[in-house]
A and B are shown apart, each in its own frame.
Chain A
Amino acid sequence: MAADVAAREAPNRPMVPITYYLLLAAALFCMGMFGVLVRRNALVVFMSVELMLNAANLTFLAFARMRGDAIGHVSAFFVIAVAAAEAAIGLAIVIAVFRSRGSVLVEDIRTMKH
């Protein structure tokens, strides 16, 4: 009887707990944050920001699966669109900085420091 109930509910309930997805997103976010804080190349810093945005997306989708509504998917859609805008502007800034200073290392860009 228990096996019968389990078989009927099997397609409805995830075999992997949502917590695992959330932990994966946390690990991915922390790796992205580590890249942002430690790497010197501005392009790699932008790639790490993309990793962090993807971790946020994964969290949205995990909670959407948990609640069973589409709001999380809509949020993930908006995050992807904003990430595209961010990448376009950020890379344009990297090109402009490289033209004026000949370097993309973040430690060489310190005119406004102090």
Chain B
Amino acid sequence: MNIELILFGAFALLTLLSAGMVIFARSPINSAMALVSTFFFLAGIYVLLWAHTVAVLQVLVYAGAIMVLFLFVIMLLNLGESPTRGRPTLARLAGGAATVGLLAVLVVTLLKVPGDVPAMAPEAQASFGTMALLGQTLFTQWLLPFEAVSLLLLVAMVGAVVVAKSRI
């Protein structure tokens, strides 16, 4: 047993546990809190994949900004617990069956992916996952998509204000 495998197992278990709490919690506020912990544990998994910059972004944007938005809306709407657990209709049973089927197909497919990793050159290894490499790739090769994303965020901001206004 090595430390990387232990860390991966712990983070994976905690991620799946808190994701289950997101789905099955009665009250939306409990779901939101479980979602925050899911994001934190996933950031740990990202660090194990040497994606340090994305892990930091995950905590800043997801666990910070997006979760504040969710909590704000939950408090604004003043939602309580769902009164009754809905009865299992045909559509929901079909949804559960489709999920199990998709999981089976994904597991069978992913087990065929070769899991071995080709060795990285030492200089590539030193810069992999750093903010310098991400920024260099983003601002040279992916500059146009980056600008498009900034436009998308602007449109989303204006759209959110317009849609949520009380009188349209």
Given contacts A21-B45, A44-B22, contact A87 B103 (CB under 8 A): no
**CB-CB contacts of B10-27 with A at 8 A, as 1s and 0s?**
001001100110110100
> How many residues in B have their beta carbons less than 8 Å from beta carbons of A?
86
- Contact between chains at A28 and B62 (CB < 8 Å): no
Within 8 A of B (CB), among A59-92: 61-62, 64-66, 68, 70-71, 73-74, 76-78, 80-89, 91-92
| Pick from A21, A50, A71: contact of B49, CB under 8 Å | A21
State the Cβ distance, B141 to closest chain A Cβ, in Å. Answer: 8
Interface residues of B, Cβ cutoff 8 Å to A: 2, 4-5, 8, 12, 15-16, 19-20, 22-23, 25, 28, 31-32, 35, 38-39, 42, 45-46, 48-51, 53-54, 57-58, 61-62, 65-66, 69-70, 73-74, 76-77, 79, 82, 86, 91-92, 95-96, 98-100, 102-103, 106-107, 110-111, 113, 115-120, 124-125, 128-129, 133-134, 137-138, 141-142, 145, 149, 152-153, 155-157, 159-161, 163-164, 166, 168
Contacts of A30 in B (CB 8 A): 99-100, 102-103, 106
State the Cβ distance, B118 to closest chain A Cβ, in Å. Answer: 7
Within 8 A of B (CB), among A32-70: 32-35, 37-41, 43-44, 46-48, 50-51, 54, 57-58, 61-62, 64-66, 68, 70
How far does the alpha carbon of A44 sit from the alpha carbon of B50 in the complex, in Å?
31
Most buried by A among B86, B106, B110: B110
Interface residues of A, Cβ cutoff 8 Å to B: 9, 11-24, 26-35, 37-41, 43-44, 46-48, 50-51, 54, 57-58, 61-62, 64-66, 68, 70-71, 73-74, 76-78, 80-89, 91-96, 98-99, 104, 107
- Contact between chains at A92 and B19 (CB < 8 Å): no
| Pick from A39, A81, A86: contact of B23, CB under 8 Å | A39
The main secondary structure of chain A at its interface with chain B is: helix
How far does the alpha carbon of A32 sit from the alpha carbon of B22 in the complex, in Å?
9
How far does the alpha carbon of A44 sit from the alpha carbon of B34 in the complex, in Å?
11
- Contact between chains at B129 and A92 (CB < 8 Å): no
